């Protein structure tokens, strides 16, 4: 079987992967930076369904690039997504990643109020000063609470990345965000995850010069 293995230099693996993805998309393209986002989601998941499921509100991807360049704060609902974002590149533009999920006071407050830690995290994120991107990759309750906070006038996100994964209220929470006035990039349907949230953040970061 080893004779079937192709030797590819480590530095060429990603470029080779992107070339394969582009070829297997059979001529389908998107304007940049949307195309890079779609390809990176496929690259991360090996799932071509993302070519059909990623929704971009008007100019959301280009807006995301400008926000990164201006030093935006990124608030995410999982430590995994926070770990996957290229913080060194983000910080070079003055940005920072926030995740409150591991904070003991967040867990205590969520337990006392009978809500999820992810919902409390969105409230904490809403209180951060300055432009914000919310990158939700796990909890639909985070998107639902974020929508409520927008309706209450407590936050106006510059961009929402709505890609939670799962079965309970996942589809519905994503549709809430799509129907809101907030600029958004959403993986419609049940698929998504913390890795996809980080991937979209990185796709925006890598577009920045």
Task: Give the active site residues.
Answer: 43
Answer yes or no: are the C-beta atoms of 102 and 123 closer than 8 Å.
no
Asked if residues 121 and 146 have their Cβ atoms less than 8 Å apart, the reply is no
Instruction: Please give the Cα distance from 187 to 49 (Å, whole number).
Output: 10
- Residues 67 and 131 sit within 8 Å (Cβ to Cβ): yes
Backbone angles phi, psi at 26, to 5 degrees: 55, 45
**Cβ atoms of 191 and 50 closer than 8 Å:** yes
CB-based contact 184:64 (threshold 8 Å):
no
């Amino acid at each position: 079987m080893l004779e079937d293995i192709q030797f590819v230099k480590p530095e060429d693996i990603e470029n080779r992967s992107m070339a394969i993805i582009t070829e297997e998309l059979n001529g389908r393209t998107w304007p940049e930076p949307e195309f890079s986002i779609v390809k990176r989601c496929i690259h991360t998941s090996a799932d071509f369904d993302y070519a059909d499921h990623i929704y971009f509100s008007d100019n959301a991807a280009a807006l995301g690039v400008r926000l990164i360049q201006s030093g935006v704060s990124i608030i995410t609902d999982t430590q995994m997504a926070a770990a996957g974002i290229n913080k060194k590149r983000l910080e070079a533009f003055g940005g920072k990643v926030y995740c409150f999920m591991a904070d003991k006071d967040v867990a205590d407050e969520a337990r006392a109020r009978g809500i999820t830690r992810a919902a409390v995290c969105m409230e904490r994120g809403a209180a951060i000063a300055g432009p914000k991107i919310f990158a939700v990759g796990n909890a639909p309750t985070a998107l639902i609470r974020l929508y409520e906070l927008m309706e209450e006038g407590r936050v106006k996100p510059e961009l929402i990345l709505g890609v939670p994964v799962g079965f309970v209220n996942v589809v519905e929470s994503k549709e809430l965000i799509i129907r809101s006035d907030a600029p958004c990039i959403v993986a419609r349907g049940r698929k998504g995850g913390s890795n996809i949230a980080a991937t979209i953040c990185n796709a925006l970061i890598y577009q920045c010069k």
